[in-house]
Amino acid sequence: MSRHDLSTMQNSKPKQTIIPWLVAGAVLLSMAVVMVYRHRARENDALLQSSAPVTAEPVSRTPSVPHRRTDSRAALAGAAQSMAAKREELGRRRKEVQVRVDRTQAAFASRHRSEAVDPAWSNAKEAELTRLATSDQIKQLGVDARDLNIDCRTSMCRITANFDSTAAGDDWIVLYMNNVAQQVPAASYKYIRNPDGTVTINVYAIGRR
């Protein structure tokens, strides 16, 4: 073996011993990278899983059905309270009107009872008010005013009539008050419900001042 060959063999030995170490280092480095990647992947998975319930629904969303039902119930309750308040107010106003009607009726009735009869005036007035109680308009409407009674004194007249129902009495009194408007300066009427279900309308009218 020549001296050149020996020198070549001696120089190549270090290179052959370094290569395995380089390979081993590369393998270890790649394993470390893989382990770090897997560790970070597990951390990311855990973070996503822990945050999933929070981000499953948007922050701003439409109220659910139970909320809408609650709002509907509250609206219905408010409407019911408003209707109850209106009925109460209407009932209060009706009572106030009824009190005024009763007061006026009592005053007119007292005046009618206290008056003496003026035969000339009372007879003419009774005939006129009777005629107006059966006008063509009332006949066309078909309203039957039974037991019509008109009693005039010196300035006051009392008019009573019976009807099968309040509706029939309403129809008649509207037309009759329109007919006698020019004949009586003021009048007050009141419904009286009879035990048999019929209605009596009691009218007190000022025939002249």
pLDDT of residue 85: 86
Which residue is listed with tokens 């004949």?
183
d(CA 22, CA 1): 32
pLDDT of residue 44: 44
pLDDT of residue 69: 60
pLDDT of residue 141: 83
pLDDT of residue 68: 58
Among 31, 33, 11, CA closest to 23: 31
Length of the chain: 209
pLDDT of residue 99: 87
Spans of the chain, pLDDT less than 50? 1-16, 21, 23, 27, 30, 32-39, 41, 43-63
116: left (phi over 0), alpha (psi -120 to 50) or beta: beta
- Whether residue 190 contacts residue 175, with contact meaning beta carbons closer than 8 Å, is answered with no
The 8-class DSSP code of residue 196 comes to T
Q: How is 55-115 classified by DSSP, letter by letter?
A: HSS-SS-PPPHHHHHHHHHHHHHHHHHHHHHHHHHHHHHHHHHHHHHHHHHHHHHHHHHHP
- Whether residue 180 contacts residue 187, with contact meaning beta carbons closer than 8 Å, is answered with yes
